[in-house]
Structure formats: C-alpha cells, structure tokens
Structure 1
Amino acid sequence: MRWNLKSKPEKEKLQALQNALQVDEIIATLLVQRGVETYEQAKTFFRPTLDDLHDPYLMKDMDKAVNRIEKAIENNENILVFGDYDVDGTTAVSLVSSYLRSFYPNVATYIPDRYGEGYGISYLGIDYADDNDIALIIALDCGIKSIDHVNYAKAKNIDFIICDHHRPGDILPDAVAVLDPKRADCSYPYDELCGCGVGFKLIQALAQNRNQTIDDLVLYLDLVATAIAADIVPITGENRVMAKFGLEVINSNPRPGIKALIQYAKKKILTITDVVFIVAPRINAAGRIKHGNEAVALLTEYNIEQAEQFASEIEQYNSDRKELDKQITKEALLQIQENNEQVRCSTVVYHESWHKGVIGIVASRLVENYYRPTIVFTKSGDKLAASARSVKDFDVYNALEACAEHLEQFGGHMYAAGMTMLPENYQNFKDAFEKVVSSTIHPDLLIQEIAYDAEIDLSDLNPKLMRVLKQFEPFGPENMAPLFLARNLMDSGYAKTLGNENEHLKVFVKQGISENFGAIGFKLGNKLDVVKNKNKFDGIFSLEENEWKDTVTLQLQLRDIRQPNE
C-alpha cells in the first residue's frame, strides 16, 4: 500500500476552530478535513436534526411528480412502483409503495428479473403494467437513460415518473417528471442521494402536500439508511442526516423485515458498517439468487412471523451466494494466471457459466487481489452481461464511454457499472478497455492507497478522544473512520496469528513508555515477521472499543504495518 497523509489543514483554520470549539488539535484537524470549519458547521455535524433536510420541492420536476400522483389518486388509477433488484432499488420500491399504500390501495410493485429482463426499466414490466390497467409507473433507482422504454409506455397511454440518481445522458426520457439531482438543469442543493434517497424526497413532498410533517416519515428511514450504506454514497449532507436517524430506527424500532434480518447479526447495536456487511448482502441475495420481489416482500411485511419466514429463506440464498462467489472468484483468478494477464492495467474475464447474480461481487474480489479496474462477464441469453468495479480515483464509467462502440448498453457511475455486449465483440472490447485504462490511469492508482488523517502518539489515546470520535459516526465515504499513523511501535512479545488460515494478526503494542494497547490486524497475518522479536514498526490504525466480559478497552484496528522508513 501507498501511505499518504490527507491534506493538512491551514494553521489559521485549525486555530480558529480550536478556539471556537475548545477542542485539541487532533479533533480540529479531523473536522477541517471533513469540511467543518466553523462553530455552526460543527454544530450541524455533531448534532444533525431532521430540520437539516432540504425542501423536496427544490428538486426539478418535484411539483409535476406530486401533481401527477395526486391526480392518479383522485381518478382512482392503478400505480406501479418499479425498481431495480439491488438493495437501493428494492428498498426504494418498499419505501414508496408502503407510503402510498398507507392512504391509497391501488398500488402494485415490480422488480425486473435479473436474468430474464436485466437492469432497469424493461419492456416486460411495461407490458405487465398495460395488462393490469396501470396508468402511472414510478421508476426508482433506474430510468434516467430509458428513452425508448418511456416512449413505448407513452404509446400505451402509461405515464412515467422517474426517480434516479445516476448520471443522465444528453437527452432525458419524455416522462411526466424526471427527478434526478444530477440533472444539469436541477439546482437541488445536494446531488449525492441514492435512489432510495430520491424516493424519500418524493414521499417527503407528498407528505407536505398532505399536511404531514417529517416526524410522520421517520419510520421509513430504516430503509433509506440501508440503501445509503449499501450504495456506498457519501455520508455527508442529507445522506448523513438520514443515515443517522435511520440507524436509530434500525436499532430501536425497525420494520419487521429488517428486525428479522438483524437477528443474524448477533449484535445489540448496529453501526453503518454492520448494515453494509450484515443487512445489505442478505437483501441483495434475494435478487442475486432468486428474485428481487422476495426482498420487497420481506421489507413490506408487517407480520413478524411471516417476516421471519421470509428472512430464513433469504438467509439460505445468502449462503448459496457466498459459495458461488468463492468458487467463481477462484476460477477467475486461475483464468488471469493461465493467460498470464497479471501485468495488465485492467482485468477483463469471462466464462459463460458464471452466475450473473454474483459477478459484481467477484469483480470486487478481483480488485482486492490485483487492484485495477475490473470487469467480469458472463453469458446472458444471446448476449454477454458484465459488472465493472474500479479503483480509487479512476472513473470506470468514463472508460466505458470511450469503448461504447463495442457495447450494446451500459450504465452506472465512477466506481461501479453494468453493461451488455454481443459475444463477438468481447475480444475487441477487452483490448480497447485495456488501451483506454493503460493510457489514462496514473501508475500510482494501481497501488492501493491508505490515506491517514493524522500522526499520533499512543499517549494521546484515551476514552475522552474515543467519545468524541464516536460522535463522528455514521462513517462512510467522505466521512470515513479516522485513521492514525503511529511510529516506532513495539509488540510485547506475544504477537500471533488468528483465523483458520492464520490470516489475521493479534498484537499488544506500546510506544516508548506508553501503556500497552491490544491491536488486531485483519488480513495482516502474513506480516507477523514485521513485529516478531520486538522489532519496531510503524502502523496505520483506526481506534475502536473492545468489549470483553463486561470490560470495555480501547483497541487499535491495524490497517497496515511496515518497518520504519520502509
């Protein structure tokens, strides 16, 4: 890994914030790095409220969307809530449909089949709407590029409201309303919402129109927090507010479906990280292995016994997903080695039998192994389908745009994308993608970076610092858990490896005459030699609390270690 210090704040800004908040330099540094420079900004950061959410009518076309929905209700029309099969899509569909059904019965939901229909709005979905006398489709987390699909629906007298957060093309679909904060002509103050977040802004506007307050919508924030966590959007602005209050709902009064899922967590209080690694994969597993409808059924179920039954089935899908993911990753790594492609700047692999539902996860695994932009293809009908994942600071969406002549369609964002392609174009695309990546990526981006916030002495670590750091939560992109560098550490002499394959490292460290701190380094078991024999070493770590037998102690979670001056 490349070790880099995040930009060091200007002394004047640091001093001003220290004086305003009466905090030490470490806390002031962490705040300024996160764009918090004044007392008022700090107050909003540490004490977010639901009043910090923006007026939903600031979003372009929101008035049109609300008017069309109210007209549908007035005329007793059937409404179809349509969304993608991943966590963001299924939570968004569950959110909007359950809100509408709280006062209007004629609401159906539709999740496209990952294998039969693929990503986004489908002709089959529109035909379903036509067959069932549906006059209005609300599309969530998809649709911003579905120009032909919207025209197809219009010819059948079906209106569309699109709620998306992906980058639009040059032409917008001819829908009644297109809600997307990334529209060039939309001046909404925050453009990092996920699809479920845009759905929440829609129900917020509907609620205002019906003389409801934000307090009436808090119960839906468990869904929004789950989508924010799963979709890896920045935990800033509105996302941070909704994630914070959504986590509170998850931990105090979640809907039966989420309550049934979190029993597998075996934890009393869930963090946003727990949602990412425990709740989200299980919701995703339904669409990956069976059908996204099962996730919506779980998330909209109000009977706890039925929800537990759904959750049990989804738990099995998640186990199946893990096995597939492990096997396909193994096969993909073998393919790279057999073709001697370890030296390329990109990874593009394909096998017709790979399960379409897990190729995105496999792409992420390959990035972990080789750390370069990666695309995993499989057969889907008479075409190839793929998922792409990128490395930090490289825009894979732009790279795909440069290779668009070889693709049937593609969509996504900077770090993740999906695409389809004719089989005969595979090799030409693979060559073109490598050419684009190798000519545009900076060589440093092919070595994983670990950016730390500040250098610190172990003597600075204490419960008071931990109490303040906990108020930085929830963590996520653009507000990651602070990382610290400490130099000249030494193990007490009892360093050991843990795990079935000795993949983790456990040490007790001290620095000079400081007290000992327990430290755990996940996936650092191969660095045992760095700390053995009381060798001095440098380490980058986050600080956490470790609870054991009712005793809470501070623990370092090591992210990387190395010998001094390495």
Structure 2
Amino acid sequence: MQKRWSMKVKPGDEGIKKLSTELNIDEVLSTLLLHRDITSLEEARFFFRPDINYLHDPFLMKDMEKAILRIEQAFVAGEKIMIYGDYDVDGTTSVALVYSFFKNYYAKLDYYIPDRYKEGYGISTQGIDFAKEHGFSLIIALDCGIKSVDKIAYANELGVDFIICDHHTPGSEIPAAVAVLDPKRPDCEYPYKELSGCGIGFKLIQAYAQKNDIPFEQLMSYLELVAISIACDIVHITGENRVLAYFGLLKINSDPCIGVKTLMLAAGRTENYTISDIVFTIGPRINAAGRIDDAKHAVELLIACSDEVAAAKGSIINLKNIERKEHDLNITDEALSMIDRDPAMIARKSTVVFNAEWHKGVIGIVASRLTEKYYRPTIVLTRSNGHVAGSARSVYGFDLYEALCGCSDLLIQFGGHKYAAGLTMTPENVEAFSTRFEQVVNASITDEMLIQEIRIDAELKLKQIDAKFFRILNQFAPFGPENMSPVFITKNVYVSGNASLVGANHIKMTVIQEGSASFDCIAFNMGEYLPKIAKGIPFDICYTIEENVWRDKRSIQLNIKGIR
C-alpha cells in the first residue's frame, strides 16, 4: 500500500533550545515534548513522573454525590444491586472492577452482561425486566446508558433506579436516572474528559472510598483492569488516563490478578507488557467471550479468586478466541474476494459489504482488516435478529460518526466515535444505505485522507541514539492515542552486513549512517525493497525505536515504518 510521509510542524528553535537547556536533554527530545504541549520543567516532571496524587477529586464529576448517596442508601436498606455492563473489553473490565470492589463491603450484589445477539449493545429492556423479576431495585450501568432515555424511563416506571457511568457523547437529552456520571455531559465540569468506561467505574469506587475513609492503597489493585480498558477502548493516553495506565501496567507486570495472569500465560508472555501488547494479546481474548459465546465468562475470569476457576474460565476463553480467529480469517477472505472481483467496488471511496451469514461477533475485526487493505471508510454488515447490523471503521482525519449522521434516515440506530461505530438498519435499506454512504464519503473525504500517512515527529541522526537518549525516550511511555511512540526519519543510511527476508515478507537487517554505530532493524511487510537496499544503495528510513529482547539479551532495535 502506498503511504505518504509527512513531517509534523517543528516548534520554534528558541523554545526547543530553552527546554533542552532546562532539562539537559537532546533537542530532538525537547521537540517531542513541545509536540505534546510540554513547555516547562514543571510540566515535564508531571509527564515523566506519573503520580497517583495527580488524579482528580472524583466528586468534581457531576452527580457523583448523588451516586454515592444512592449506593449507601441501598446498602443500609439491604437492596439488591445489579452491576450492568457492555460485552466488550471496556464493559467487562468495568463490571469486574465495580463488582469486585463493592463485594468487599456488601453481599446483595450481582452482575449482568447483555447478550450481544439477543439484546444488542447497551441497556436492554430484557435486562431491566430481569432486574425487576429478580428483585433488583438499583442498577449501576457501566460503559453504556448515556443515550438510553427510553430504557431509563421504562425502568423508572417499574421502580428500578439507575446510576449511569458512561464515557460516550450524550444525545440531546440526558436520561432521567438517579445519577448520570459522564464527563462529556455539557454540564459536567470534571477536568478530564477522556476516561474509559472502566475509568468512570474507577472514579465511582474512588469516591466511595474517599467518603468512607478507605485507604487509596486498597484501590491500586484495580488499576490493571483500568489499564486494560484504556488500551483496548483506544482512548487518549494523556492526563489522568496516562497516570491510570502507568500504574495499571506496573500492576500487570509485577503482580497481576489471577484472571489477568491466566490471560498472559495463554498469550505466552508474563512480563514487559505495553499498551500495544494488551491491545493485541489480552484484549482479543477478553473480547472473544462476548463475540462468540457469553461475555460473562470474561467477567468470571477477571473476578476469579482461585487458580482452578481461572484455569477453567481461561480455557473456555482461549477456545473461543481460536474460534473467533477462524471466523475472522474466513470472513475477511470472503469480503476481500467480494471487493476484488467487482471493479465498481474497487473504484469507490468507501467500502460497504454485506453477507447475511457472516458471524456478527467478528465483523468489527473484519472491518478493521478491510480498512488496512484498502484504506478507506469501511462498513461490514450481516443479519441479526431480523435486522442488519454493521460495524464501521474509518481512516485518519475522516469523521465516520458525522458520515453516518448523513445516512440516519436509513438507519434504525447508530452510535460510536469518529473512527469506529456500530449501526442497525432494516434489510430493505442495505442497498440504499450503501449508495448514500458512498455519496456522503465522496463529498467530504479528500484524496490525501485516502493515502495512509506516516506522521514523522523529527529528523534524527543515528549517532544521537545513545543510552541516555533511549532511557529518556522510554519515559514517554505508556504510548497510545495522543501520545504515540515517536516516529523518526534518518536519511542516507545503508545496510551494514546482511539484509535478509524473514517470515513471509519481512526484512531483517543492520543499518549504519556515516559516523554512527550500526543498528538492528525489522521492516514488516517490506520485502519488495530488499533487492535495492541489498546492493548498497543509500536510502531513507522512518521508524520507531524499541527494545528487542531475545533469549534474555536486550538491544535497541529500529522498527521500520517506511523505506524511501
């Protein structure tokens, strides 16, 4: 796939030199800090030294006092409380966190995860009916509910109270729940707006602990679940999220709970996990439970108190993950074939594919794979409960949610973010929707958006990469949205020693630049460049810098993102 290289705008030289002098660091590192709006020693200290004391007071969140008061009233009155959450990673970690915490202080507590296929996303009428029939008078809804105006009204008619803990953007009306915790509410002045759903759950237990004199140290063990949710829900790793992710990763890498350790063992690694590792190893396994079977398996694993229970649930989830992979690969192949044999589909600026037999649980993954292949807004549709359900993914810079708004008259419902969304429609609207979506995309997307971009942070000489540079660069972690691993460009390098093809289409090589030491490199899916670079022709590279661990030997490695 063709990619375009673009340099981020370099900050002013005066600011770079000033910060480099204050911090005694390389000017390239100062440039990276200025890109993150870090302009002083004090701000750099906050960035490089995450501290639990930087977390905001949870009672700054609108309705938090109401939420805690209602929970305490339920405890005193002996009411049954249901912890309700979505079936994805953010939802299941949220339920596991809130349930595990309150179970320490109250017994009449249970949890509920809606069935992906029978109930769909968010708060369901079936879930409310279940609560009423089984005597639950309070539901704490996590990672969902902010748009469930009609469902909350129905619950109120039945005498079932709701506390909503959500992080999605509200609609025009806030549900009439007892308390609605969502920093994205227009009337909420909470200082940080980008918490995950599990992050909102953490603020709830933080508030309860704060009011009831429970030491904060007792909350630290729950941060691994918050870190997993932050990673897998692709929220910003800035501000408060960065602190939560930092300490959550420490817990994962030093003393994970039994359930998380089981997932790590299944993935074949038990240490040195990064945000990216969680996204690609732990997250898919948790998600597989709800995609293929029942997300309650994931919650049961995450709250497990014994090795036996964790092993049993871990085994189920692993099998579901294998099944998920098979569905994923088969459906991806079918979808690619569908596009490749249709010149009209290839010529479009969007992708919409539909097959009534595809497994609903993996269409989001397939949409991501199709986006990687064709790099354009993509929607994968399948039949579900008499309707057609879809999962959508976008490309950098294009607002998918806004595009769906332009098709809203053809949809039963839709929701999501700028880069990922879900939607439902009637079967007879599929063709009209596909046509309309292409029209909306075609009218608003630019040609540049349709070419994948490598955004380069700074130019770097290889000789600048020494032990101090690498040590400070590592302190920029944890990396993720709005704090991505920096991409550097180095010009006129050449192969030192051998360059060889490894795996299917990857290049393993050592490069050198005039005046520098040599550096090991890995270039995934770039085998077509091997003939040229092997002849000693100078070339430019853009790359991230990482640590490679092989048989307990650690070394600096360049992960090549582009060759020119």
Matched, 1:313 2:306: no
The offset of 1:319, in angstroms, is 1.0
Determine the structure 1 residue equivalent to 2:165.
163
Measured in 1, the distance between the counterparts of 2:535 and 2:63 equals: 66
* Counterpart among 209, 221, 224 of residue 211 in structure 2: 209
Measured in 2, the distance between the counterparts of 1:525 and 1:123 equals: 53
Structure 1 runs not aligned, ≥5 long: none
Determine the structure 2 residue equivalent to 1:298.
301
Determine the structure 1 residue equivalent to 2:395.
391
Determine the structure 2 residue equivalent to 1:33.
35
Secondary structure of 1:170's partner? coil
Matched, 1:545 2:547: yes
Matched, 1:494 2:498: yes
| Greater displacement, 529-538 / 107-116 | 529-538
Measured in 2, the distance between the counterparts of 1:80 and 1:271 equals: 33
| Greater displacement, 512-521 / 522-531 | 522-531
Q: Verify the 8 A CA contact 2:26 2:469 in the aligned structure 1.
A: no
* Counterpart among 251, 257, 260 of residue 258 in structure 1: 260
Q: Verify the 8 A CA contact 1:493 1:533 in the aligned structure 2.
A: no
Measured in 2, the distance between the counterparts of 1:548 and 1:307 equals: 30
Determine the structure 2 residue equivalent to 1:11.
13
Secondary structure of 1:315's partner? helix
The offset of 1:137, in angstroms, is 0.8
The offset of 1:513, in angstroms, is 4.0
Determine the structure 1 residue equivalent to 2:331.
328
Q: Verify the 8 A CA contact 1:378 1:385 in the aligned structure 2.
A: yes
Correspondences of 1:74-473 after superposition (within 5 Å): 74-267=76-269, 268-340=271-343, 341-473=345-477
Secondary structure of 1:136's partner? strand
Secondary structure of 1:264's partner? helix
Measured in 1, the distance between the counterparts of 2:403 and 2:558 equals: 38
Q: Verify the 8 A CA contact 1:159 1:175 in the aligned structure 2.
A: yes
Measured in 2, the distance between the counterparts of 1:378 and 1:33 equals: 42
The offset of 1:549, in angstroms, is 4.2
Structure 2 runs not aligned, ≥5 long: none
Determine the structure 2 residue equivalent to 1:481.
485
Query: TM-score of the superposition, structure 2-length normalised?
Result: 0.98
Measured in 1, the distance between the counterparts of 2:550 and 2:135 equals: 59
Secondary structure of 1:449's partner? strand
Measured in 2, the distance between the counterparts of 1:226 and 1:251 equals: 12
Measured in 2, the distance between the counterparts of 1:493 and 1:301 equals: 51
Measured in 1, the distance between the counterparts of 2:554 and 2:173 equals: 56
Secondary structure of 2:516's partner? coil
Measured in 2, the distance between the counterparts of 1:87 and 1:195 equals: 10
Measured in 1, the distance between the counterparts of 2:99 and 2:549 equals: 40
Query: TM-score of the superposition, structure 1-length normalised?
Result: 0.97
Number of matched residues?
Answer: 560
Secondary structure of 2:562's partner? strand
Secondary structure of 2:507's partner? strand
| Greater displacement, 422-431 / 548-557 | 548-557
**Change in 2 beyond 3 A, CA 1:313/1:445:** same
Deviation above 3 Å: which 4+ runs of structure 1?
Answer: 548-551
Secondary structure of 1:263's partner? helix
Q: Which amino acid aligns with 1:418?
A: G
Secondary structure of 1:494's partner? strand
Secondary structure of 1:495's partner? strand
TM-align CA RMSD: 1.1
Measured in 1, the distance between the counterparts of 2:188 and 2:4 equals: 38
Q: Which amino acid aligns with 1:350?
A: F
Identity of aligned residues (%): 52
Q: Verify the 8 A CA contact 1:50 1:214 in the aligned structure 2.
A: no
Measured in 1, the distance between the counterparts of 2:72 and 2:526 equals: 57
The offset of 1:251, in angstroms, is 1.1
Q: Verify the 8 A CA contact 1:290 1:317 in the aligned structure 2.
A: yes
